[in-house]
Amino acid sequence: MHYWILKSEPETYSWDTLMKEKKTFWNGVRNYQARNNLAKMKIGDLAFFYHSGKKREIVGIAKVTHEARQDNLTEDPRWVMVDVESVKALNTPIGLSLIKEIPELKNIHLVRQGRLSVSEINQKEFELILALGN
């Protein structure tokens, strides 16, 4: 199993929307590194849902339910999307400022490459963030 962080501005697509809809496809990604990460996702992988923009916090957990396929927003076969479903909200959202203070998290892409919309984290990092949020 792999672990991920999916970023979205709440004004574009929020955690509350995913919780209400239960599932969605993660499409519209137009960064090559983020696209490559989408292509590596497998069914059952878990992802933190991160609100970018003003809030800058991890708010929930999603699960990959369909692996990469052609993005439905373009005819260009180089771009892919995956399906995700909501799993649960974190009891306490974890802000980027707190993440930056934790030495074990200083090398995650969320800190090093803040504009990357889909990034991978390892199991230890995932579990640490999960513990903070619960």
pLDDT for 45 beyond 90:
yes
Element (H, E) at 25: strand 23-26
Please answer whether residues 5 and 58 qualify as being in contact, where contact means their C-beta atoms are separated by less than 8 angstroms.
Answer: yes
* Cα distance between residue 132 and residue 134, in whole Å: 6
Per-residue pLDDT, 22: 98
Domain carrying residue 54: 3-133
Number of domains within the chain: 1
CATH of the domain at 110: 3.10.590.10
Measured between alpha carbons, how far is 108 from 85 in angstroms, rounded to an integer?
23
Token pair in block for residue 82: 């995956």
The string of pLDDT tens digits covering residues 95-114 is 999 999 999 999 999 999 98
